[in-house]
Amino acid sequence: MTNILKFFSLTLMLSFVYSSTVDANTKAPWKRYNGSRVKVKITSIPVGASVYVEDKKWGPVGTTPTDHFKLVRNRQWKIILTHPDYDDLETTIDLTGRYKYKNEFHFQMKKKIVYSNLEFKDSGNGSSTGAKVFIDGEEKGVIPVTVKVLPGKYAVKITKDGYKEFSELRTVAENQTQTILVNLVAIEKPKGKILITSDIENAEIEVDKVSRGFTPQLVVVEPGSHLVVVKHKENRVSQIVDVKANGTEKVHAKLKKDEVVVPNGYVTIVTNVSDTEVIVDGEPKGKTPMKRITLLAGQHLLEVRKKGYISQKRTITVKANEQTLENFELSKQAIVVAVGSMKITTETGADIYIDGQPRGKSSISSDNMKVGEYRVEVVKPGYKRVQKTIQISEKKPLVVHIPLERVGTIKVTGNVIGAAIFIDNQEIGKIPLLSHELPVGTYRLEIRAKGYRVHTDTIAIRGGSTEPLTFNVNLLPLGPTPEEIDEMKSSLSAFGAKVIPPKSFTAAAGLDWPYWMDGRLTVGIMKIGKIGIDGGATFRSYFNMHEFLFNVRAQLFQGGPLTAGLFMDIGGGIGSQERTNFTWNIGGSGTLSFREKVNLTLGAYFNIYRDRFCLGSAPGDDDPRSEPAFCKHGDEATNPLGYEAFLDSQIQGWKGHSVRDPYWGSRIMMFVSVEWAINHRYSVYAKFSLASIALKPSSTIYRPAYMDFYNSAMMPSEDPRFYGGFGFLWKF
């Protein structure tokens, strides 16, 4: 039975240990650590990022900007931020060294890169297949090709030998695929001409073994070398002719065996339209009206032409020594305009302009658009204006959809004209900025001006609105803000270890004991970092005695809520009936501040004093000075019988002391003070002191000035050693 009980007890103990271990291991690390904690707040750009401590598996502590959560101080913590549109950010915050009760950390996350695609294809006629694709001047491949790009605006250029260059600007949105169907226009090559004549009419012509008719004939060919053959029955003439672009070469075939001298004849050409160009056998002869032309007798190819009219050609026969009249009636050319069809669609309600002229909203179409290039512009309030060049073709209908990107506008004004305005560290203008367009998203707005604090704001552009997002920025001069000044003034202390900063001072007034009235002025002298000095003056009185003291404080340390330093008070006073005293206090103190509202101070100091109540010798009858009555009782000359008894009647420590000698003493004092800030202008205070240790030369803890033996109207019979008071503190 005993063994069973032992086994049962052991099982219970192991279960308890195991459950405690499991519970400890399932807590997040930042919750398991013991120790004092500080408050931490995490902010980020963008807002709404999930915040993890040490590891994601422990779950988020919140989203930015987080509420204050507590972490153990004097160590470093890994912080992880995640956001669906941004790269995860891992960093470390340091809570060692100089930490505050509230610690705020701000982080900038890097936006994820989301690529888009530009897909280049041939339009279907094969003109662009194999053409080179350039984006912003950089070759990306040949058609067909898909190019991956970041969102933005790009200059697209497509080139191919023998074709005109194609170029346009393309705006690509995030995570978008755009297909570009490319139709390249072939470059028409210049040609040359061969004027072929012969001395026999209607001789057969072959050019490069291809029949080209009969003489006389003007043959159009590609630039280069060509074999020209002119034949008539058994007669045959061959000649290689080099033809240049836009040039005319002549070939005259002599087929007759016997050379016959051909005399000249004359031709007069008349047209119904002046300035008509006259060309004979491919050679320009001038413009009408013109004089007669002298030609060799025989056949000639005559052509007349003028822009806007139908050209005419005819073969004429010129007879020797005869004049021929040729009359041409030219008719105007019918104007034929090539047209094509197109359809353009975009966002609902968007205005569509073609070559600056409004053509409709949302969607327009036309089956009678003149072939050529047009500039299309799409405008809708709350969206980015889009400009695009389109090409209308006679062969293929054009269908274009123009997407619009939602944008918003911001308006920035402020109290500093000319202050620079930055969006995500890029300057966009200066105050006043009446309108600036931004795509949808979250941005960091900064206003910078020399001599002023940088103003930072996070703005969210939702787009689609015609009203601008307005910011009226009041830049603060360099130095502490009004809120920081108020917070600093709220924490000012007249009795603690925290010194008054330069350009500030305090005034304290209250009711004390043994001094019924107590007032102090303190002004800042110097402060460098955490070290500083201030000084001031104190007036206090219990009516029989009025004292003036000079005060100096030195702040030597400040960390978090704790401040430590040294102080010194030195001065003296005068009172009724020739009373005088001297006081010198020197010591140290430490102040604990609670949220800049309450200053709790503990300290200790040496109190060295010298009190004189009686003259060095009894005044004569003609001496105008007076002294307290007890001086005569304690004077051997004036009270020989009661002198010894008087000396023995003094309080312990001062027995046997001559009242005509000054009282020198020193002791160690302990004190505590509490200052409670009502606001940044006013505080209330209470302070208490205790005489704790007596030092030589008096070896007594009691001070004669605080006993009714010397001040019967104001003091108790014995120095109580415990002093205190309360009052108000004004802060400036």
Q: What residue type is 685 in one-letter code?
A: Y
Share of the chain above pLDDT 70, in %: 91
Can you tell me which residue has the tokens 């005068």? 574
User: How much is the pLDDT for 646?
Assistant: 67
User: How much is the pLDDT for 18?
Assistant: 44
Query: Does pLDDT of 712 surpass 70?
Result: no
Reported as a pLDDT band with limits 50, 70 and 90, residue 72 is: confident
Reported as a pLDDT band with limits 50, 70 and 90, residue 476 is: confident
Closest CA to 217 of 194, 238, 248: 194
Domain ranges of the chain: 1-26, 33-108, 116-182, 339-401, 407-473, 485-612+667-711+721-731
Using CA atoms, how far apart are residues 636 and 659, in angstroms rounded to an integer? 10
pLDDT in tens, 84-120: 888 899 999 888 876 566 688 899 998 888 888 989 9
Using CA atoms, how far apart are residues 84 and 188, in angstroms rounded to an integer? 55
Same fold, 407-473 and 485-612+667-711+721-731: no
For residues 235-241, average pLDDT: 85
User: How much is the pLDDT for 704?
Assistant: 84
Of 76-90, 254-268, 497-511, the poorest mean pLDDT is in 254-268
Query: Does pLDDT of 16 surpass 50?
Result: no
Reported as a pLDDT band with limits 50, 70 and 90, residue 693 is: very high
User: How much is the pLDDT for 430?
Assistant: 92
Of 55-59, 152-156, 463-467, 527-531, the poorest mean pLDDT is in 463-467
Using CA atoms, how far apart are residues 632 and 625, in angstroms rounded to an integer? 14
User: How much is the pLDDT for 493?
Assistant: 92
Please give the residue that has the higher pLDDT: either 717 or 458. 458
Query: Does pLDDT of 247 surpass 50?
Result: yes
Query: Does pLDDT of 234 surpass 90?
Result: no
Using CA atoms, how far apart are residues 166 and 159, in angstroms rounded to an integer? 7
Using CA atoms, how far apart are residues 116 and 108, in angstroms rounded to an integer? 25
Architecture of domain 485-612+667-711+721-731: Beta Barrel (2.40)
Answer whether 375's CB lies under 8 Å from 396's CB.
Answer: no
Reported as a pLDDT band with limits 50, 70 and 90, residue 299 is: confident
Of 96-100, 183-187, 438-442, the poorest mean pLDDT is in 96-100
For residues 585-610, average pLDDT: 94
- Give the three-state DSSP class for 393: coil
Number of H helices, E strands in the chain: 5, 52
For residues 195-202, average pLDDT: 87
Domain covering 116-182, topology: Immunoglobulin-like (2.60.40)
pLDDT in tens, 346-374: 888 889 999 889 988 888 888 888 888 99
Architecture of domain 407-473: Sandwich (2.60)
User: How much is the pLDDT for 51?
Assistant: 92
- Give the three-state DSSP class for 648: helix
Using CA atoms, how far apart are residues 391 and 314, in angstroms rounded to an integer? 41
- For the chain, the straight-line distance linking the first and the last C-alpha, in angstroms and rounded, comes to 82
Q: What is the CATH number of domain 339-401?
A: 2.60.40.10
Residues 6+ apart with CB under 8 A from 125: 183, 395
For residues 457-483, average pLDDT: 83
Using CA atoms, how far apart are residues 714 and 539, in angstroms rounded to an integer? 18
Using CA atoms, how far apart are residues 573 and 24, in angstroms rounded to an integer? 66
* Number of neighbours of residue 3 by Cβ within 10 angstroms: 7
pLDDT in tens, 633-657: 766 666 666 666 666 666 666 776 7
User: How much is the pLDDT for 601?
Assistant: 96
pLDDT in tens, 389-428: 989 888 888 888 999 888 888 899 999 999 999 999 999 8
Using CA atoms, how far apart are residues 678 and 684, in angstroms rounded to an integer? 7
Query: Does pLDDT of 335 surpass 80?
Result: no
User: How much is the pLDDT for 21?
Assistant: 43
Closest CA to 545 of 704, 421, 695: 704
Give the helix ranges, DSSP H, for 261-387: none
Please give the residue that has the higher pLDDT: either 4 or 575. 575
Q: What is the CATH number of domain 33-108?
A: 2.60.40
Query: Does pLDDT of 139 surpass 60?
Result: yes
User: How much is the pLDDT for 713?
Assistant: 66
Token pair in block for residue 717? 């019979």
Residues 6+ apart with CB under 8 A from 111: 85, 86, 87
Please report, to the nearest 10 degrees, the dihedral formed by the alpha carbons of residues 25, 30, 34, 38 taken in order.
-170
